[in-house]
Structures are given as structure tokens and as C-alpha cells.
Structure 1
Amino acid sequence: MDKKGEQLLEIKQLEYFVATADHGSLNKAAEQLYTSQPNVSKVIANLEKELGVSLFERNSRGMKITEQGNLLYGYARSILKNSNMIRALVQKRTGSSFCVSGYQSSMLTRLMADIYKNYKDKGIKFGYREGTVEEITDDVSEHVSEIGIVYLAHSQLPCFRHIMWHKKLEYHPLADLGICIYMGRNHPWYHRDYLEFDELKKLKFIEGTEDFFAMEHHIERISVGAVQMENLNNAVCTNSDYMINNMLKHTDVCCMGVDFVLKDYEIHEIKALKVKNCEKFLTFGYVKQKKKDMSPEALFYISKLKSKLEGYNESL
């Protein structure tokens, strides 16, 4: 307690609070935090005592966040994000880290494995952060990540470039891409080679994190011939890559992705079906700090990404 009698919150308390709120379970929060359930319970109880409010309602189903807890949650997430940025800035100044921000992507994270193997003896700490277009570009703007990998609809480019100007970033397009549809063996269309565009309306989809630039939010503007898309049937919403993979493997729910797919998914019996006659309405590229030279690690990463794109296009 400080001289004025006010309790100072610790970062650890906020981390435990956010983890519990995200999972709705002390046990799952403990697993994420690599600690014990009683320890998480103790930290949450002390936080509630210090604040003088109940942050959760306890019941047999787990932990339900209260109205007071919801008020704290947004501020807590913001504080933790800024705390991580401070750590990243300190690491950046030592020249000992390289971080990329992007989407949930097997291909993008696989490239991080390649760059690690190439630079593992250089004493560099590597990182990969997932997020929305806004979060990815914030990471680059605030020096958390050196580069960010994004894709968005061509129709959104004017708005996106305006945002890039305000954040003092540059956007470098690498390719124009269409979409593909991921589905697992439990889907009745799994053995097909492609889908018709108007068949997308008949599928159930996993919807990712809310993102103004997400392709799902703009596909209804795309028309092929006489077909005009309507809103998709988003049956599941999640920001978890594990959740997406499990839904694809064990249900008939699908996921939309860019038409740029590695073979890694096949071992999990997840297939990417092309959409016949779908125009390449997405631009795929990277963002970086304006007028700033990229590190050898960033140049290596982008060169590997370009090679993957070129190899994929040649195989079509």
C-alpha cells in the first residue's frame, strides 16, 4: 500500500484476472499460466479484496464475470498489451529480437521455424504474434514487431493506406489471391475438388476475431457472373487456432482462408477446396516502418515468403 493508502495493482494480478475471464475457469487459467488452481484462486480473491468488488460469480459451471469485472477487463487488457510493448522495446534496443505479427497461419508460423534454424546461433529471440489487421499494424507501428503480414480486400485498400499513413507505415503487396474453403473429413463434400461460388451460402463457417478488414465481412460484395453473395452462416466464433483445427477435424463446420495453402494440413485430414471462378479480390503483403531498412532476419523472412508464393503459383 502506498503513502496515500491506495493499493497498487500488480501485472501478475491482471494476467491472472484476464486469463480467468477468457477461459471462465480457474483450472484452465492455471494451465495457461503454468501454475496451480489454488494459486489462481488466491490471486483473484486478493484482487477482489483490494478493489472491494466481486469480479466473478462462482458456480458449478465455472467463473462468470460480473458487471464490475467487465469494466476492469478492457482496462486490464490494455495495460497488459502496453506492458508487453515495453518489454519488446527494451529487447529491440539490445538488437536481440525479431518478431513478426500476422494471422493464425500454419504457413506464416512455419516460416518462423525456418528463420530460427538459419539464425539460431546468433543469440536472437524470435516471436510471432497473432491478431487482426489493426493489432498487426499497431504492433509494427509501436515497434513490437518489425514486420506484419496482412491480407485484405482490394476495395479496402484506400482506407487501409490512409491508416498506414497515420501510423507512419508502408504497405508492400506481394500477391493477389482468391479464397479457399478448409473442411475436414467429417464434411460430406470433403472428397470434392472444388466448390461453386454460390454453394458458400450452404456451408456453416467458423468466424474468427472481429476485424473490419476480414475477408468474410466483404465477400458479400463479390459477384461472379449472376451470383451475388449474401451473409455467410457463421455457426462458430473463436480466436483460438486449436478450436478452429478441432472444429474442422471433428465437425462439418468450414473455415475460409486465402488460396495459398501448404500441404501440412493434409496429415490432419483437413482439405482446402478451391472456389471455382472466384476472382482474386484479396491483396496479400507486408507492412513495415516507413523509410526504415529491414534487418537481415526480416529480409530473409520476406524472401522465403516470396519463394513460397512463387512456388505455389507455378503449381497451379
Structure 2
Amino acid sequence: MLRKAPPLEAIEVFVAAAGGRSFRAVARDLALSPSAISRRIAALETFLGATLFDRTTQIPTLSAAGRRYLLMVEPAMVAIQRATMQLAGPQDERISVAASHSFASAWLLPRLGELQRDHGIELEIIPTRDFNVLRSGQARFAIWGGNEAPADLAATHLFDAVVTPVAARRLACGRSPPANEHEIPDYTLLSMRTPARLWERWLALAGVHAPELKVREFATLQLAYEAAAAGMGVALGLPLVVEPALEAGRLLACAGAPRSLGESYRLYRSPRLAITPPEQLFVDWLRLSVGRSMQRFALHAQRPTLDPGLVA
């Protein structure tokens, strides 16, 4: 009898790889070899008779067919996870997660209702960047950006700090946003205090020599985005954190292409404690949700200065 559906493990690999990461990173997360990831995706493409990924770039990206397929199979994967959890153990699990204030308020908090409604998981968010909350057991997981992972903690890659300039459609002074990278140094630039010199790093990657910049710093990314939405200057849009402002049209991607600052956001945990089934469901949900947001960010970044209603 001929198969009418591809193997479930191939679909699982496809969904995991659809988040805009390298196959090597996906392989680490799923405890498979990179060649095994490539084989399963290739087998799925052969089964479907369609190319799901564009492999001409350094990190494979979803093709048009891949995006359509993801929209159809991702809800099914979530339904399978939900059904498994209903039989595997009790629902209404509370999980403590540490995160920065900006990430928690802009991205994680708006999704708490969905997580509890669809999966029976309640999150307790601890707004801190102190690794000791994991070592002490106060938090089971932490979501932080940075370029170093402590040796005593397990870390899973979530997304790279690929940023792009964003601004209001019209600045408070009446100017339009910059049209290219070389115009950026003539504007007030909005940034965080920590990490420092983000604009200098981004402009250097863009090949723009700017010995003098007018940078206004804020305590959090969210404050910088609020200032940008008020027309006070140009900010660097980070995936997920800038998503609410982009989706609402309060900020638009303007000059320049997204560029990586060489840092990543990771999901941290203590390896001393085994992951429970509800916690694994949370991790799976997080990966899927981050992948969807990364796709949205890429779409906004590829279509700068368009009317926000056109970004659907």
C-alpha cells in the first residue's frame, strides 16, 4: 500500500528547520547529525514533489511552497503535542521563565493566553538577566540575548540578533526616515545603554564610516522603540522585540538590510534537572512561535517603506 503521508519525523524536522536557522543548529537541538537533517528534508521534498527551502543562501530559507506547507502542517504538529500532553500527564503546569523586560513585555507576555488556552501551561515570568536564578532553581528556563553561554548551563539557540533600522513614517522634526545607510549618521540614533555601541557596530558592517554620531541611549529596547515610534529618531529593530511596533505600523523598516551583530538569543536551563513533559511542550511551542516571528520579521525587512497594511 502506498504511503499517503510522509513520515512524521520528516515533518518534525521540517518544522524545526523552518525557523530561519542553519541545518547544523537544528541538528544540535534534535540530537541528529546535519546530514540526517538534510536527508529527511530532501526525502520530504521528494515525497511532496516540491522544493521547500532555498539553499542558495548561507542559511536555508523557506521557499514559497515551504511557507504554504508550514502553514498547513504546523497546526497539526501542535495538535499532536496537545493530544499527547492530555494523555501523558496533568495540565495546568506552571513554569518559571526568566527574561529581559523588553523581551518579556513585547513578545512573551502577549502569548501567555495562547499558551495556557492551547496547552494548559502557565508561565511565571521573572524579569531578570541574572544567571543565578537558574542555578538556584528559582527559574526553570531563561531567554536572554548575548554572545556567551556559561559552561554550567545548557543553552539552545533560538534566534540571531539580526537587526535592521526602523523609524516612524515621519519623524517629529518633519523629516522622512533615511533612505539608505549613508544617510543614517545625519539622524538622531536611538539605542540601549547595554550592550554599548550597537549603532557603531551596525554601521561598520554596512561599510559606513561615521566618526561622529548623535546617539540617545535608553535603559531598555522597548523604551528605544517607543521613542522611535514618537518620531525621536532611528532605532535598530531586533526580531521579536520590535514585532508589535512593526505589526501595528508604528515603526517601519527603513534604510539598509538586516545585519547580524554576531550575538544570539538562547534558551537556558540547568542540565542538572530533567525536562518534564509539560516543559518539553513549552520548549517545542517556543521554537515554533519564534520561527513564525522570524518569518514575519524577514517579511517586514524585505518590504521597507510600504504601507503596513500591505504586509499581511
TM-score, normalized by length of structure 1? 0.49
> Rg larger in 1 or in 2?
1
TM-score, normalized by length of structure 2? 0.50
